[in-house]
Amino acid sequence: MYKLIVLDRDGVINQDSPTYIKSPEEWHAIPGSIEAIAKLHRHGYKVVVATNQSGIARGYFTQNTLDAMHKKMLDQIEAAGGHIEDIFICPHGPEDGCECRKPKSGLLLQAANKFNISPSEMLIIGDSIRDILAAKNYGATAIFIKTSNKNDDLLAAKSAGVSVYASLAEAVDYITNKI
């Protein structure tokens, strides 16, 4: 059993947008995702979120606005009986050269250090090849969620031998029944 499940946010928990989710009003959970997180919690999994949020660096929204979006998400998860242990954020842009922006594994390292676990004890769930590469770069297992039209990412995930599911809810059904 994995000790820590690491979820990407946009496209896994909430609906993604090519123009960024810039306010709590624009943040909408994908149907079934909140309940899936609650199910993981009921089955004893620790769950965290690791998310690139370059909208901060680009000036699309502030840290306070991001915090308000996350409060909305956490409130919905808690109301459903779930729990998120922590949220790890990369606020940098793609050109900033940081170590935390996926596909680099800095966010995963932060989570592993906080919870004192090894890469083999982590399961990363994402909808982008960046999530899959971050997991592979760190030595963790990954699951790809096909909730978007990222066909190149889907093909790359399949080529990497990563399990693919249509939604977080479908992946969680597999995890809680098979792993």
For the annotated catalytic residues, the residue numbers are 8, 10
Q: Which of 163, 122, 150 is nearest to 107 (CA)?
A: 122
As given in the structure block, the two tokens for residue 94 are: 């793609």
Cβ atoms of 150 and 123 within 8 Å: the answer is no
Q: What is the DSSP string of 72-98?
A: HHHHHHHHTT----EEEEE---TTS--
Alpha-carbon distance values, 88 to 15, 22, 130 (Å): 19, 18, 15
